[in-house]
Amino acid sequence: MSYEFHSDADPSLIDSFVMKQEQNTLFQCTPWAQIKENWDHLFTCVTEDDKIVAAALVLIRKMPLGTVLFYVPRGPVMDYHNEALVRFYLQHLTAEAKKAHAIALRFDPAVLSKKYAYKDRNEAHDAQNTDVIELLKKCGAEHKGYTVKIEESTQPRFNAEMDVTDDYREHLEHKTAKCIRASEHKGIEIYEGPEYIHDFEIAMHYTEVRKQVALRNEEYFAHMMKVYGDHAICMVTKLNFPKQLKKLSASIAEEKNALAQEGLKKKEKSALHQRLQNDQKEYDRLQKDYQREGKEEVITCGILAVYNDSLMELFYMGNNPDYLRMYSSYLLYAKCLDRCVELGIHHCSFGGVEGTLDDGLTLFKSNWIMNVEEYIGEFNICLNRPMYRAFDQIYPFLLKTAAKLRGKE
- What pLDDT digit, counting tens, does each position of 133-166 carry? 999 999 999 999 999 999 899 999 999 999 999 9
Residues 167 and 308 in one domain: yes
Residues 232 and 253 in one domain: no
Residues 394 and 327 in one domain: no
Residue 407 predicted with pLDDT over 50: no
Residues 196 and 261 in one domain: no
Which residues does residue 3 pair with via DSSP β-bridges, in sequence order?
Answer: 48
Residues 40 and 121 in one domain: yes
Question: What pLDDT was estimated at residue 197?
Answer: 98
Question: What pLDDT was estimated at residue 389?
Answer: 86
Q: Could you please report the per-residue DSSP string of 162-226?
A: EE--TTGGGGS-HHHHHHHHHHHHTTEEEEESGGGHHHHHHHHHHHHHHHT-----HHHHHHHHH
Q: Which of 275, 293, 311 is the last residue of a domain?
A: 293
Question: What pLDDT was estimated at residue 259?
Answer: 87
185 pLDDT tier (thresholds 50, 70, 90): very high
List pLDDT tens digits, range 32-59.
999 999 999 999 999 999 999 999 999 9
Residues 80 and 138 in one domain: yes
Averaged pLDDT of the chain:
94
What CATH number does residue 388 fall under?
A: 3.40.630.30
Residues 61 and 151 in one domain: yes
- Cα–Cα dist 153/293, whole Å: 41
Residues 26 and 99 in one domain: yes
Residues 118 and 60 in one domain: yes
Residues 177 and 214 in one domain: yes
Its domain, for residue 264, covers 242-293
Question: What pLDDT was estimated at residue 310?
Answer: 94
Cα dihedral across residues 12, 16, 17, 23: positive or negative = positive
Q: How many C-beta atoms lie closer than 10 Å to residue 335's C-beta?
A: 17
Mean of the pLDDT values across residues 265-276? 90
In the chain, the number of structural domains is 3
Q: Could you please report the per-residue DSSP string of 316-375?
A: EEEE-GGGGGG-HHHHHHHHHHHHHHHHT--EEEEEE--TTS-SHHHHHHTTS--EEEEE
Residues 90 and 235 in one domain: no
Residue 263 predicted with pLDDT over 90: no
Q: Residue 398, Cα to own-chain centre: how many angstroms? A: 23
Residues 19 and 50 in one domain: yes
Q: Which of 293, 326, 359 is the last residue of a domain?
A: 293
List pLDDT tens digits, range 204-238.
998 877 776 777 899 999 999 999 999 999 999 99
